[in-house]
A and B are shown apart, each in its own frame.
Chain A
Amino acid sequence: MVKIMSIKNNKSIKVKDVMLPISEIPVVYSDAILKDALEKMSAYKIGIVCVVDQKNKFVGLITDGDIRRMLLTVQKPLSALFMEDVLDHISTSPTYVDPELSIDNATKLIGKKLVWDLPVVSKNMSLLGLFHLHKALEFYLKN
Chain B
Amino acid sequence: MTTHKKIISVGYDSVNPIKIGPRLPLVFIGGPCAIETYDHSMFMAENIQKICEDLKIQWIFKSCYDKDCRSSPNSFHGVGLDHGLNILSKIRKEFGVPVVSDFSDVNDGNYIGEVCDLVQVPAYLCRQTSILKAAAKTKRPIHLKKGQFMSPWNMKNSVKKLEANGCDQILLTERGTFFGYNMLINDFTSLPIMNKTGYPVCYDATHSIQLPTSMGSISGGQREFIPALVRAAVALGINALFMEVHDNPSKALSDSNTVLDIKYLKLILSQAIEIHNVYLDLMERYGEDNVHQK
| Chain A residues proximal to chain B, CB less than 8 Å | 33, 73-77, 79-80, 83-85, 87-88
Contact = CB atoms under 8 A, between A and B. Distances in A.
Given A85-B1, A87-B1, A88-B1, A74 B293 contact: yes
A84 B151 CA distance: 13
B1 A73 contact: no
A74 B193 CA distance: 15
21 contacts: A33-B156, A73-B293, A73-B294, A74-B293, A75-B293, A76-B293, A77-B151, A79-B151, A79-B153, A79-B154, A80-B151, A80-B153, A80-B193, A83-B153, A83-B154, A83-B156, A83-B157, A84-B153, A85-B1, A87-B1, A88-B1
Nearest to A90: B1
Contacts of B193: 80
Contacts of B151: 77, 79-80
Interface in B129-153: 151, 153
Nearest to A70: B294
Contacts of A75: 293
Nearest to B156: A83
Interface string B1-37: 1000000000000000000000000000000000000
Nearest to B3: A85
Contacts of A87: 1
Nearest to A80: B153
A69 to B, nearest CB: 10
Contacts of A79: 151, 153-154
A83 B159 CA distance: 12
B187 to A, nearest CB: 12
Closest 9 CB pairs of A and B: A83-B153, A80-B153, A87-B1, A88-B1, A83-B156, A73-B294, A74-B293, A79-B151, A83-B154
A79 B151 CA distance: 9
A73 B1 CA distance: 18
A66 to B, nearest CB: 12
Nearest to B155: A83
Interface in B248-294: 293-294
A73 B292 CA distance: 12
A77 B153 CA distance: 10
Given A79-B151, A84-B153, 8 more contacts: A73-B294, A74-B293, A75-B293, A76-B293, A83-B153, A83-B157, A85-B1, A87-B1
Among A80, A87, A88: residue with most chain B CB under 10 A: A80
Contacts of A84: 153
A95 to B, nearest CB: 21
Contacts of A83: 153-154, 156-157
